Each structure stands twice: as C-alpha cells, then as structure tokens.
C-alpha cells in the first residue's frame, strides 16, 4: 500500500492498521493451533503451547514469503 493517510499526529494510519491486522492474524492462528492441541487428550499444556507457537511462527513465515517480505527470524 502506497497510501499516505496521516492522522492528527502525523503518523501513517494505513501502516498501523495493516500491522494490527497482521498481529491479530498471527494471534488467531496461534490460538487455533493451541485449541486444536488441547482437544487431544494425550497432549499436555506444554505440548499445546508448542503446537500453538509452531502454528503462529509457520503462519507468519508463510505470510511473509507470500508477500515477498523478509522473514522475521
């Protein structure tokens, strides 16, 4: 997005919005992975956190690769 929509303080609104949507997407994917892991009775809390973290990092990495951006890790 090349838009330069500025708020009253002079900061770019579009960049903040896109960043917020990205954070929300990664958090929702992590929650989805953790909930899926919690449904399995053999996986403990630690395993659910690991699966949620793997889903979040994998989803964020895939997003960055598809958008041709540098991967954060």
Tens-digit pLDDT profile for residues 27-37 = 888 788 778 77
Phi and psi for 42 in degrees, rounded to 5? -80, -10
pLDDT score at 45:
74
Neighbours of 7 (CB within 10 A): 9
Cα separation, 28 vs 10, in Å, equals 30
% of the chain surpassing 70 pLDDT:
79
Does the pLDDT at position 62 exceed 70?
A: yes
3-state secondary structure of 42: coil
* Per-residue model confidence (pLDDT) at position 1: 47
* pLDDT at 57 exceeding the cut of 70: yes
Q: Over the Cα atoms of the chain, what is R_g?
A: 16
- pTM over 0.75? The answer is no
Q: How far is CA 19 from CA 14, 26, 55, in A?
A: 9, 11, 19
């Amino acid at each position: 997005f090349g838009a330069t929509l500025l708020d009253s303080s002079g900061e770019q609104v579009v960049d903040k919005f896109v960043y917020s949507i990205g954070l929300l997407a990664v958090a929702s994917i992590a929650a989805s992975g953790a909930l899926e892991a919690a449904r399995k009775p053999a996986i403990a809390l630690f395993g659910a956190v690991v699966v949620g973290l793997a889903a979040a990092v994998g989803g964020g990495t895939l997003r960055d690769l598809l958008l041709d951006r540098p991967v954060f890790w």
